[in-house]
Structure 1
Amino acid sequence: MTDSPTVLVVGGGATGAGVARDLALRGVDVTLVERGGLASGASGRSHGLLHSGARYAESDRAGAEECIEENQILRSIAGECIRDTGGIFVQLASDDASYFETKRDACKAVGIETEELSADEARERVPDLSADVERAMWVPDGVVYPSRLVAANAADAEDNGATIHQHAPLEEMTVEGGEVTSVRLGGTVDNVIEPNYVVNATGAWAGKVASMAGLSVGMAPSRGVMVSVEYDGLDVALNRCRDPEDGDIVLPHENEAVLGTTSVPVSDPDEYEQADWEIERTFEECSEMLPAVDNAPTVRTWWGLRPLYEPDESDTDRRGISRGFFLLDHADDGVDNISSIVGGKLTTYRQMAETTADLVCDKLDVEATCETATRQLPGSEDAEQLDEYVEKYDGLNPTDRDVVG
C-alpha cells in the first residue's frame, strides 16, 4: 500500500468492497481497510435474504424498485454467491386479508413478478406449511451468501490494482483546513497515510467513524437475532404476509433453515444485549408458518445490526425507518474530501457502491463509467474458488457458515 492512496475506503462489508471494486475498475488508486475480517459486520451477520422488493413494495416504493433491479443484476453476475430459490409470502388465518391484496397490487405497480397460490398449491412447494395458511404469493426472492459475495468483490478490486487490508482498524483522522489530511491505521497496517479522499462505508458504525473527523451522522441501528436449525424440507424463501414483525422470515440453506428476526433499538453497535426472549419469540413466530422448525435442533445463533440512518430517531420501534440508502457528501458539513454511505440493504450494495463511486470520481475529475452491473464477479461459477477468496480475506461469517467451504 502506498502512503498516499487516492481513495481510502473504510469498511470491508458488501458496500465497502463494492466501492473498492467499482473505483478500481475505473482506474482509481484505492485502498480498503476493515477492522476485522471482511464481512464481519452487518453483511456477514444478516439473514441473507436476496430481496425482490416485495417486502417493502407497499411501504417504500423507491426501496422496492432498488431491490428488484439489483436482485436481477445479482442473478446475472453473482453465480454461486447466491441461491435462486424464489420466495413465498403466506397469509395465515389470523392475518389481514386486505394486506395481501395491497402487497400484490404494490408489487405489480413496482414491476415485481408475482403468482397467487392457493393453500394447497403452496403446500405442494412447502409440504410442512401450517394448516392455517389460507393462500400465498410467489415472488422472486432468493438467498445471498455474503461471505462469498464480499470476498469476490474484494478479489476483483485487488485484481484491478486495489489494496485490501483486513484487521486494520481506523484509529484516528486528522482534519485541517476543511479536509482530512491524514489517517492512522492500526493492526496489520500500523501506519499513518494521507489519502486524497475518504469513503466511510462502515454501516452501523458510520456515526463513530464520522465523529473522528468532527462530523455527525445520525445512525439508529437495531439488532436482530437469527437462528439456524437442522431442517432440509424448505427450498424457497418463506415470508409472513403481514406488516414486518418479529419472526416472519425463514430461509433455506442446504440442510438447515435460518429463522429471523427481531428488531430492538441499539445505542452502541459495539456493546448491546443479546436477549434469550428474542430467540424464543423468533421460534414462536416462525413456527406459526412452518411448525416443523419449532422443535428442530439449533445449529448456531447470531445477532446482526441493521445500519439504519435516521438523524432524528429516538429509541422507539425502528421498523418504520426507510431501508433506502443515503450518500452524505460531507463537503456540505465543512469537510471537503470525505463522504458516508449509509442505510440500504445487502441486496442493494452494488447500487450503493456505484452511487458512491460516481460522487468520488466527480470529486477527482475521473471520467470513467461503472462496469459492475454487467461484469461477472470472479470465481462466481466456481464455489471452491469463491471459498478460497473467503479464506484469503478471513471472511467466513455466521450467515453462511454451513455453506461456505
Structure 2
Amino acid sequence: MDSSIDVLVIGGGATGAGIARDLALRGVDVTLVERDGLAAGASGRSHGLLHSGARYAEADGPEARACLEESHTLRRIAGACIRETRGLFVQLAADDPAYFEAKRRACDDAGISTEVVDAGAVRETIPDVTDDLERAMWVPDGVVVPSRLVAANAADVSEHGGRIRTHAPVRSMTREDDRIASVALGGEVDRTVRPRYVVNATGPHAGRIADMAGVSVAMRPTRGVMVSVAYDGLGPVLNRCREPADGDIIVPHDGEVVLGTTSVAVEDPDDYERANWEVERTIEECAAMLPPVADADRVRTWWGVRPLYEPDEAARGGRGISRGFHLLDHADDGLANCCSIVGGKLTTYRKMAEATADLVCDRLGVDADCSTADRQLPAVTDPTQLDAFVERFDGQGPTDSDIVDRTDPP
C-alpha cells in the first residue's frame, strides 16, 4: 500500500464502498479502509428493506421519489443482491383509516404505484394474516442482501485499480494548516498514509472520525432491534400502516422473517444497552400483523445503530421523519481536503456516493462523470461468486447471514 494516495475513504459500509467504486470508475486512485470486515456496521445490521419510498412518502415527498428512483436503479445493476418481494401496507382495526388514505395519496404524488386490496385478497396471499385486517395497499418494496451488495461494490473497486483494506482502523490524523497531512492506520495495515483528500463515511461513528481531523460532525445515533424468527411462506414485506412506531415491519427471508424495530437514542454506537423489552415489544407488535410469529422459534437477534445527523433530527422533530442524507464539505470549517457523508438509507447509498464523488472530483480537478447508475455490479447473476466476494472481504452481517453462503466457489 503506497503511502501517498489520492483519496482515502474511511468506512466500509454501502456508502463507503459505493464512493470508492464511483471514484475508481472515474479513474481516481482510491483506497478504502474499514476497522472491521465490510458491512460490519449499519449496512449489515439493518432489516434489509429495499425502500420503494412508500415508508416515508407522507413525511418527505422528494426523498420518497429519490428512494423510488434508486430502488429502480438497484434492480437494474444489483441482480442477486436484491430480492423481489413487493410490499403491503396493512391497516388493522385499531389503525386510523385517514392515515391510510394520506399514505396512498402521498404515494400517488411521489409516483409510487399502489393497489388497494381488501382483507380477503390479502388472506389469499398470506393465509396467516391477522383477522383484524381491514385493508391493505401493495407497493413496490423489495429486500436487499447487504453483505452481497457491499462486497460487489468492493470487488469492482479492486477490478478498477482501487484498494480495499479491512481490519484497518484509523488511529490518528495529522493536520498541516488547512489540510489533513497524514492518517495513521492500525490493525492489519499498520502504517501511515498521506492522502490528497479524505472522505469520512463512517455512519454513526462520523463524529469520532471528524474529531480526529479537528472538525465537528454532530450525530444523534439511535439503536433498533431486529429479531429473526422461523416462519416459512411470507412473500411480501409487511408494513403497519400507522404513524411510525415500534414493531411495524416484517421482512421475508427463506424460512425466516425479520421483525423490526425500535428507536432508542444511544451515546456510544459501540457501547449501548441491548434491552429485552425491545425484543418483546417488537415481537408483540409484529404479531398483531402476523400472529404466528409470536410463538415462532427465535433464530437470532441483533441491534443496528442509525447514523442520524443531529441538526436534521432537531429540525424535523423526532421519529418517523425521512432519512435524507447530508454531505458536509469541511472546507466550510477550514479543512480543505475532507468531507463527511451522513444520514441516508441503504436504498440510497449509490446516490449518496455519487454526490460525494462529484465533490471529491471537483476538489481534485478530475473531469469524469458518474457511471454507477448504468453500470452493472460484478457477478450479480452468480450468487456463489457474490458470496465468495463476501468471504474475500470478511463482509458478513447478521441481516442476511441466513442467505449468504460464505464459501469459495468450486
- TM-score, normalised by the number of residues in structure 1: 0.98
* Contact 1:308–1:322 under 8 Å retained in 2: no
Provide the rounded CA distance (Å) in 1 between the counterparts of 2:107 and 2:317.
Answer: 25
**Residue 173 (1) aligns with residue 169 (2):** no
Matched with 1:294 is: 294
Question: Which residue of 1 is the match for residue 139 of structure 2?
Answer: 139
Map of 1:2-401 to 2, 5 A cutoff?
Answer: 2-311=2-311, 318-401=318-401
Q: By how many angstroms is 1:126 displaced?
A: 1.3
Paired residue type of 2:96: D
| CA contact 1:217–1:311 (8 Å) conserved in 2 | no
CA distance in 2, matches of 1:207, 1:126: 44
Contact 1:90 1:239 in 2 (8 A): yes
Confirm or deny: 8 A CA contact 1:78 1:149 kept in the other structure.
yes
Report deviation, 1:320.
4.5
Query: 1:30-86 CA distances to partner (integer Å, 9 max, x unpaired)?
Result: 000000000000000000000000000001112211110100000111010010100
The alpha carbon displacement at 1:233 in A equals 2.0
Following superposition, the deviation at residue 318 of structure 1 comes to 4.0
**Using the alignment, how far apart are the partners of 2:344 and 2:92 within structure 1?**
29
Contact 2:34 2:167 in 1 (8 A): yes
Contact 1:222 1:318 in 2 (8 A): no
How much has 1:313 moved relative to structure 2? Answer: 5.4
Does the 8 Å contact 2:247/2:259 carry over to 1?
yes
Instruction: Name the CA distance, whole Å, in 2 between partners of 1:143 and 1:379.
Output: 18
Contact 1:263 1:317 in 2 (8 A): no
Q: Summarize the Cα distance change of 1:313–1:112 in structure 2 as closer, same or farther, 3 Å threshold.
A: closer
> Relative to structure 1, is the Cα distance of residues 255 and 312 closer, same or farther in structure 2, using a 3 angstrom cutoff?
closer
3-state SS, counterpart of residue 375 of structure 1: coil
Q: 1:321 & 1:313 partners in 2: Cα distance?
A: 8
| Letter of the structure 2 residue corresponding to residue 376 of structure 1 | Q
| d(CA) in 1 for partners of 2:322, 2:7 | 29
- Amino acid in structure 2 at the alignment position of 1:258: V
Distance 2:321 2:217 in 1: 15
**Separation in structure 1 between the aligned mates of residue 75 and residue 265 of structure 2, nearest angstrom:** 33
Contact persistence 2:60–2:321 (CA under 8 A): no
Amino acid at match of 1:341: I
Instruction: Find the residue that maps to 2:404 and give its secondary structure.
Output: coil
Q: CA offset at residue 311 of structure 1?
A: 3.0
CA RMSD of aligned residues (A): 1.1
Conservation of the 8 A alpha-carbon contact between 1:62 and 1:324: no
- Is this contact kept in 2: 1:265–1:318, CA < 8 A? no
Runs of 4+ in 1 over 4 A off after TM superposition: none
| 2:56 and 2:322 in contact (8 A); partners too | no
C-alpha displacement of 1:317: 8.0
* Distance in 2 between residues matched to 1:252 and 1:167, nearest whole Å: 31
Amino acid at match of 2:149: L
**What is the DSSP-based 3-state SS (H/G/I as helix, E as strand, rest coil) of the residue aligned with 1:223?**
strand
> Normalising by the residue count of structure 2, what TM-score does the alignment of the two structures yield?
0.97
SS in 2 for 1:370: coil
User: Residues of 2 paired with 1:178 and 1:322: CA distance?
Assistant: 34
Could you tell me how far apart the structure 1 residues matched to 2:48 and 2:127 are? 23
Cα pair 2:88 2:136 within 8 Å, conserved: yes
Rounded to whole Å, the distance in 1 between the matches of 2:317 and 2:336 is 34
Tell me, what secondary structure is at the counterpart of 1:37?
coil
CA distance 1:321–1:113, change in 2 (3 Å): closer
1: CA distance, partners of 2:222 / 2:134: 32
User: For 1:151, what is the secondary structure of its paired residue?
Assistant: helix
Q: Which runs of 5+ in 1 are unaligned?
A: none
Contact kept, 8 Å, 1:44 with 1:146, in 2: the verdict is yes
Aligned amino acid, residue 32 of structure 1? L
Q: Is the 8 A contact 2:34 2:165 kept in 1?
A: yes
CA distance 1:291–1:237, shift in 2 (3 Å): same
Q: CA deviation at 1:270?
A: 1.2
Shift of 1:127: 1.3
Contact preservation (8 Å) 1:265, 1:317: no
Amino acid at match of 1:275: A
